[in-house]
């Protein structure tokens, strides 16, 4: 799979604030990536660095195959990292045509991209009459005018009402389905879950998880177990192929899985090994719990 962006050991310090710490990840063509983290976790700073508007302290990033300088590479990148800003008294179409003129893009693209974001019927309306959601959609259309390889969005649904949020998310999914790679920063777990295929979870500038969204969601779950002799129970469990890790807490064993295992099957296995349980509960972390666990612990 073609690589769009490679980030290696990126660091950014603002005085004493270490905003981005040794961040490394790769973006492959065709996927939808989320950078997920609470406010202040370094999402916008990371985007600013790769878009060449924030200077990095150390580390490296390279666009595409690395043979192009950043200035040229960024011509193949569409990004919205600020509030949409167009001329208020010009229509949607006039604003986009102006962008075309500045960037040397054919005017044909204007209607095509207005269609993608669902604003074609509103092309003759002045920008000042648009809702925030429509302004944001116009900004997306503008970023798409030059058919970028990748679209970068920072908190694309901030400040929108539920309907506006829904429209933006649907548009992002639609753009992804047309083959454009997407990187979006969000502090909203459900946004990343609904829109992204891959996620980088940041907390205080550090990566806590990086991988597929499914990998974070479809955790196999864990068992809470207790027997009269927890040591014997633990020793036996260590031989089970589905067991990843066992934690001991308040007289209970928390058994984390790396493969699917049903409670009945585990019970049978233990019984065959001469262990009777006096407590067995199977639990699954919700994505919410896992995210909080990832981001709250020190």
Rounded least distance, CB 155 to Mg ion, Å: 6
The site map against ligand ADP for 5-34 (x = CB under 6 A) is ---------x--x-x---------------
Q: Is 37 in the site for ligand ADP (CB under 6 A)?
A: yes
SS3 46: helix
Rounded least distance, CB 38 to ligand ADP, Å: 7
Work out the angle between the directed axes of helices 132-144 and 162-177 (0-180°, nearest 10).
Answer: 10
Helices (H) and strands (E) in the chain, counts: 11, 13
Residue placing its CB nearer to Mg ion in the complex, 110 or 153: 153
19 touches, from ligand ADP, Mg ion, none (C-beta below 5 to 8 Å by class): ligand ADP
Residue placing its CB nearer to ligand ADP in the complex, 21 or 169: 21
Residue placing its CB nearer to ligand ADP in the complex, 93 or 193: 193
Q: List, in sequence order, every residue forming a beta bridge with 225; answer none if it has no partner.
A: 253, 280
Interactions with ligand ADP, residue window 114-153 (CB under 6 A): none
Residue placing its CB nearer to Mg ion in the complex, 44 or 95: 44
245-257: burial string, b at 16+ Cβ within 10 Å, e else: ebeeeeeebebbb
Assess contact for 112 and 140: CB atoms under 8 A.
no
What is the Cα–Cα distance from 160 to 162, expressed in whole angstroms? 7
Q: Which residue from 123, 127, 130, 126 is spatially nearest to 109, judged by alpha carbons?
A: 123
Q: Is 41 in the site for ligand ADP (CB under 6 A)?
A: yes
Rounded least distance, CB 87 to ligand ADP, Å: 28
What is the Cα–Cα distance from 11 to 7, expressed in whole angstroms? 10
The site map against ligand ADP for 42-81 (x = CB under 6 A) is xxxx------------------------------------
Q: Which residues bind ligand ADP (CB under 6 A)?
A: 14, 17, 19, 37, 39-45
């Amino acid at each position: 799979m073609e690589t769009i962006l490679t980030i290696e050991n990126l660091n950014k310090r603002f005085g004493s604030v270490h905003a981005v710490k040794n961040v490394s990840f790769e973006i492959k063509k065709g996927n939808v990536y989320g950078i997920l983290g609470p406010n202040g976790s370094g999402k916008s700073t990371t985007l600013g660095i790769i878009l060449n508007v924030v200077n990095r302290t150390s580390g490296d990033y390279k666009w595409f195959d690395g043979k192009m300088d950043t200035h040229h590479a960024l011509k193949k990148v569409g990004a919205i990292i600020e509030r949409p800003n167009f001329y208020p008294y010009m229509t949607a179409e006039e604003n986009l045509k102006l962008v075309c003129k500045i960037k040397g893009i054919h005017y044909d693209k204007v209607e095509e991209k207005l269609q993608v974001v669902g604003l074609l019927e509103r092309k003759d309306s002045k920008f000042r009459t648009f809702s925030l959601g429509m302004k944001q959609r116009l900004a997306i259309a503008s970023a798409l005018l030059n058919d970028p390889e990748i679209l970068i969005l920072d908190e694309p649904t901030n400040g929108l009402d539920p309907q506006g949020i829904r429209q933006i998310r649907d548009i992002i999914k639609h753009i992804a389905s047309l083959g454009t790679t997407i990187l979006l920063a969000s502090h909203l777990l459900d946004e990343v879950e609904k829109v992204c295929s891959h996620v980088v979870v940041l907390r205080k500038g550090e990566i806590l998880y990086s991988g597929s969204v499914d990998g974070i969601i479809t955790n196999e779950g864990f068992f809470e177990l207790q027997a009269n002799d927890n040591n014997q129970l633990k020793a036996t469990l260590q031989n089970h192929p589905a067991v990843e890790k066992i934690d001991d807490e308040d007289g209970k064993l928390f058994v984390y899985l790396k493969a699917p295992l049903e409670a009945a099957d585990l019970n049978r296995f233990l019984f065959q090994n001469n262990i009777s349980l006096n407590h067995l509960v199977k639990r699954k972390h919700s994505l919410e719990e896992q995210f909080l666990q990832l981001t709250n612990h020190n």
